[in-house]
Amino acid sequence: MKRRNFLKIFPAAGLTSFAVNGHAMRPFANSKIARMMAGCEEVEDRVMILIQLHGGNDGVNTVIPIAEYDEYAKLRPIIKVPDTGPERLIKLDTGLPSADQVGLHPVMTGFKNLYDRGWLNIVQAVGYENLNQSHFKSTDLWLSGGDGTPDKFNIRSGWMGRALNAMYPDVKGEPIPDMLYPLGIQIGDPYPSLGFHTETEHQNSINLFGQDPDGFYSLVQTIGGAPLLNIPDSDYGDELAYIIGVEKSVDKYSQYITQAFMAGSNSISTYPDTGLADQLKTIARLVKGGCKTKMYLCSMGGFDTHGSQIPPEGDITKGRHADLLRSLSESLTTFYDDLEGMGLADKIVTCTFSEFGRCARENGSAGTDHGTLAPMFVIGKALSGGVHGTNVDLKNLANDNQLQGQQFDYRQVFTTLLQDWLGANNYVLEQTMFEGYTKMPILSSTYAATPDCYIGATGIFDPEPERRSLTVFPNPTVFRTQVSFQSKTPFAGRLSLHSLGGSLVSVQPVQVQPGANQFYLDVSALPGGNYFVRLEDRVSGAAEVVKLSVAR
């Protein structure tokens, strides 16, 4: 494993625990310590990994349209993947309708294995309105959640940052008792991604490119020298204060990341010797070590294959594009084998994306030029498995030989993963600018999060903790306590009481009305100690939590 690719692998060490008011607790992913209801704990531990394929992956040579193979061969006489012989394509699923039959590039045997296990989804012909063929602009659109229409062409923040801010409003860019780890971690690219950028001053993600745990911590310590005692009251001073604040928060996060890394391990020591494999191996170890980061952004470059997509001798299993697809397939297969060995395969879902596909017709340099539509891959044990959509229509190309006939918007895939996998409520989707996009049956029904497990700030609950409206009186109490709550709108609620360890003590349905609400909890039979009172919106999953002391 190469140090420049990310983190060195060190021997495992102990992970320091943490406490709330002296009581040991596991690190809840929810910043409000809210989702303690039975059945939601699995959602708390879920992770989403995004793999960005920089340069525009050639989707037509990745997922080959078998039903239109003759047309495909005419468009690509030099670089086509053969359908016979030792280098022939991999027939993915003979059970699909004949019109939907596809083949994988022959180096992607690992993806075939994942598909046969039900752990791979292929989403066909993905794009967005008014597709842009500039590397830089199209990448920005994918990361910002935008498209080619005027009102969504210049979004200044990233969809990942907006989603995490709305899901975990109490996390302000540094560790808190309920969330010791950054909500997002970027790996594999030295340049901070727009995807995690927010319009607020605090950042909920960090970039760990090129650092081992000790090196990362040491690097942070050297930034800026001694702290300034007096920061000027000016625009310059505001920027300086922000930089100092980022330095401090990264410093704090680095300690917990290092602890998780040192506590973690891998069940498979031999990963492929590639940059992506190094990134995934590190993530597996961090998750095993207790890191509760929700989103990771990984990176692979080299997909801008204008020329020499295959070598001069014409072996489709060699050359630039084959090497990239082999790395993608083998890295993810090894990663999920590693996770399965550690009992974590159903905790992580991975999704690939690229800024665009390639032109349907090859160019004169044994390569392909910038294109439009491309497939996305979603990988994980929790998936339903299968192919969504049908083959791209190679007989219905635009005048410049570009694919047309978009079947899915990329935001449908991300919307599905945010809500059905991570449990984002509808308010989070609204804040992410993904409201209104139809979800897809990507997740197995066994794993799809239900509304009872949704999380995030809402228009009902004020996300700022200092302005919470949920109160209990008297507190401490002996026999019973009055729970008071101010609401802007009516909703069906659930009032519950929990021990400090998260165990459910009691629960009752309540109907919240606009204005002032009062409910009562009988605690006369409970032993003395500290508890949590929780009021939840049963539809959105949003919740408020307040501490209650029972005196004896």
CATH superfamily of 465-550: Immunoglobulins (2.60.40.10)
Average pLDDT over the chain reads: 83
Tell me which H or E stretch contains 37.
Answer: none
Task: Please state whether beta strands 408-409 and 120-127 pair in parallel, antiparallel, or not at all (unpaired).
Answer: parallel
Residue 41 and residue 139: Cα distance in Å, rounded?
Answer: 34
Residue 45 and residue 35: Cα distance in Å, rounded?
Answer: 12
Q: What is the DSSP letter of 534?
A: E
Task: Please state whether beta strands 504-512 and 515-522 pair in parallel, antiparallel, or not at all (unpaired).
Answer: unpaired
Residue 307 and residue 326: Cα distance in Å, rounded?
Answer: 19
Number of Cβ atoms within 10 Å of the Cβ of 432: 28
Residue 147 and residue 157: Cα distance in Å, rounded?
Answer: 13
Cβ within 8 Å of residue 410, ≥6 positions away: 126, 127, 128, 142, 353, 376
Put the strands of the sheet holding 471-473 in their side by side order: 471-473, 480-487, 515-522
- Mind listing the pLDDT tens digit for each residue in 111-159? 999 999 999 999 999 999 999 999 999 999 999 999 999 989 999 899 9
Angle at 456 between CA 452 and CA 457, to 5 degrees: 125
Dihedral sign, CA of 160, 161, 164, 166? Answer: negative
Q: Which of 205-214, 340-349, 486-495, 497-506 has the lowest mean pLDDT?
A: 205-214
Residue 471 and residue 518: Cα distance in Å, rounded?
Answer: 10
User: Which pLDDT does position 22 carry in this prediction?
Assistant: 26
User: Which pLDDT does position 249 carry in this prediction?
Assistant: 59
Average pLDDT on 441-452 reads 92
* Residue 27: cis peptide before it, omega within 30 degrees of 0: no
In 413-490, beta strands by DSSP E:
471-473, 480-487
Residue 104 and residue 150: Cα distance in Å, rounded?
Answer: 37
Q: Which of 8-12, 49-53, 268-272, 350-354 has the lowest mean pLDDT?
A: 8-12
**Residue spans of alpha helices (H) in 289-373:** 320-341
Instruction: Provide the percentage of residues in the chain whose pLDDT is more than 70.
Output: 80
Number of residues written out for the chain: 552
Chain mean position to CA 302: 23
Where do you find CATH 2.60.40.10 in the chain?
A: 465-550
The model's pTM:
0.75
Residue 56 and residue 400: Cα distance in Å, rounded?
Answer: 17
Cβ atoms of 195 and 160 within 8 Å: the answer is: yes
Q: What is the DSSP letter of 513?
A: -
For 214, 250, 262, 472, 516, the CA distances from 257, given in Å and listed in that order, are: 10, 10, 9, 36, 43
For residue 540 the two structure tokens come to 């959105």
**Residue 508 pLDDT grade (very low, low, confident, very high; cuts 50, 70, 90):** very high
Residue 289 and residue 143: Cα distance in Å, rounded?
Answer: 29
Write the DSSP assignment of 372-400 as a string of letters: S-EEEEEE-TTB--EEES----TTS--TT
Tell me which amino acid residue 116 is.
D
Cβ atoms of 310 and 299 within 8 Å: the answer is: no
For 333, 394, 504, 528, 545, the CA distances from 476, given in Å and listed in that order, are: 54, 71, 20, 10, 16
